[in-house]
Amino acid sequence: MIAPLSSEALILGGGLAGSALAIALAEAGRSVVLVEKNKEAQHKVCGEFLSPESLPLLHRLGICPDYLGAQTIHSTRLVTREVLAEVRFPAPALSLTRRVLDEALLQRARQVGVNVHRGWTAERLDHSESSNHWRAQVSDGCELMFIEGESAFLATGKHGLRGWARATKGTQNNLVAFKMYFAFSPEQQKQLAGYVELILFPGGYAGLQMVEGRCANLCAVVTKEKLQQPGAGWDSLLDYMLRHSDHLARRLNGSVPMLERPLALSAIPYGYCMNGPIEILSPWRIGDQAAVIPSFSGDGMAIALYTARRAAQLYLSGYSAADFHREIRKQFHSRLYFGSLLSRLVTAMPSLGYVARIWPSVLLGIFSATRVPDTAPVS
């Protein structure tokens, strides 16, 4: 049997939250092992809108999205059949594909001394009372191995680890997500450049924005009920969205899909925020393991980075996972509740978007109310 790897901190999952935490701990001189199940960075179901709040958190980790090809997003447009309202953000946001961003963070983690294992899947995690250590069973597809750590951090995103499922569900659990890239002509790029367009339709909503090069990201969520209608799938959903939005139909006219098939994700626990009992003996949960905000807010990545940063700060100051979970619940609970209430309302009644036509500032208010807390200590 292979002797177990061991380290002070054991991080399961190398998305934004896992890599961000690994970098922070390694920079503080701690020994860190991180396991990520994918061998290479993958496309992920994500609108790829990097909110203004996420940018200082990335810069602190030594990541500069502009150098990676990110595009500036200065405004949002709310769209049903046509554009209802347009609002400029208080500070610029960016857009960047997750494949590029996640790779950059993992590379950075390696650079600062994290022991990164890609292509390793964590299969279980146990705590030994006698040694007061955590032990993860991981597989590289051929062999089973063990890694031990004084502390364990769960950063596996929306999907949990056997034995460590979230105690409760989200508050909006009936949405399915799809993402597709489209190659845009220079004229189409010019019309969309600088904007993230939020397109509302009965049963769901979609975000459309340019990412790197000539590539536009269309990321949609729709209720399972809508999708279960006869013949439903990506093609019929796209057709349905185009029938409900002349604006989207014009945007996509003549563009070319860039993926063989769309990426899809179901069982998204929107609105989840540590709403179960706080477990005393638990790995630290960060990123989507701690809180899942509905995607229209475009702040999920900022929450992943913020929870990673805050976990590192509290861990290094001697606090426990339970202390951290209590703080996160306090900071995010009402924001997530409000965000998923809005998400439920607009999927049920997209005509509510007309309120923003009368009072465009409502859009800005909603944007602010679903942000990472202002009080977030990012230093």
Ligand X SMILES: Cc1cc2nc3c(=O)[nH]c(=O)nc-3n(C[C@H](O)[C@H](O)[C@H](O)COP(=O)(O)OP(=O)(O)OC[C@H]3O[C@@H](n4cnc5c(N)ncnc54)[C@H](O)[C@@H]3O)c2cc1C
Site for ligand X, rule CB under 6 A: 12-18, 35-38, 45-49, 51, 121-122, 155-157, 159, 161, 177, 219, 221, 265, 268, 287-288, 295, 298-302, 304
Nearer to ligand X, 64 or 246 (CB): 64
For residue 228, what are its two tokens?
Answer: 């279960």
User: What is the closest distance, in whole angstroms, from the C-beta atom of residue 358 to ligand X in the complex?
Assistant: 26
User: What is the closest distance, in whole angstroms, from the C-beta atom of residue 86 to ligand X in the complex?
Assistant: 18
Nearer to ligand X, 46 or 273 (CB): 46
User: What is the closest distance, in whole angstroms, from the C-beta atom of residue 18 to ligand X in the complex?
Assistant: 6
**How far from 257 is each of 41, 238, 242, 331, CA to CA, in Å?**
21, 12, 15, 40
Residue nearest to ligand X (CB): 15
Please state the separation of Cα 137 from the chain's center in Å.
26
Nearer to ligand X, 16 or 311 (CB): 16
Nearer to ligand X, 39 or 359 (CB): 39
> Which alpha helices (DSSP H) does 87-136 contain, by range?
98-111
Nearest Cα residue to 70 out of 88, 81, 83, 54? 54
Distance separating alpha carbons of residues 138 and 157, to the nearest angstrom: 17
Per DSSP, the residues of 154-170 read E--TTS--TT---SS--
Q: What is the DSSP letter of 76?
A: E
User: What is the closest distance, in whole angstroms, from the C-beta atom of residue 12 to ligand X in the complex?
Assistant: 5
Relative to beta strand 175-183, strand 215-223 is antiparallel
User: What is the closest distance, in whole angstroms, from the C-beta atom of residue 258 to ligand X in the complex?
Assistant: 18
For residue 311, what are its two tokens?
Answer: 């976990």
User: What is the closest distance, in whole angstroms, from the C-beta atom of residue 239 to ligand X in the complex?
Assistant: 19
User: What is the closest distance, in whole angstroms, from the C-beta atom of residue 207 to ligand X in the complex?
Assistant: 6
Per DSSP, the residues of 318-355 read T--HHHHHHHHHHHHHHHHHHHHHHHHHHHH-GGGGHH
Nearer to ligand X, 55 or 221 (CB): 221
Q: Tokens 């069973």 correspond to what residue? A: 137
CB 80 within 8 A of CB 244: yes
User: What is the closest distance, in whole angstroms, from the C-beta atom of residue 82 to ligand X in the complex?
Assistant: 23
**How far from 222 is each of 66, 93, 181, 317, 370, CA to CA, in Å?**
32, 25, 18, 42, 20
Nearer to ligand X, 30 or 371 (CB): 371
Nearer to ligand X, 36 or 197 (CB): 36
Q: DSSP strand E in the chain: where?
A: 5-12, 32-36, 49-50, 71-79, 83-95, 115-118, 121-128, 133-139, 144-154, 175-183, 195-201, 204-210, 215-223, 256-257, 263-265, 284-285
CB 108 within 8 A of CB 19: yes
User: What is the closest distance, in whole angstroms, from the C-beta atom of residue 279 to ligand X in the complex?
Assistant: 18
For residue 34, what are its two tokens?
Answer: 């991180």
Nearer to ligand X, 232 or 357 (CB): 232
Nearer to ligand X, 20 or 84 (CB): 20
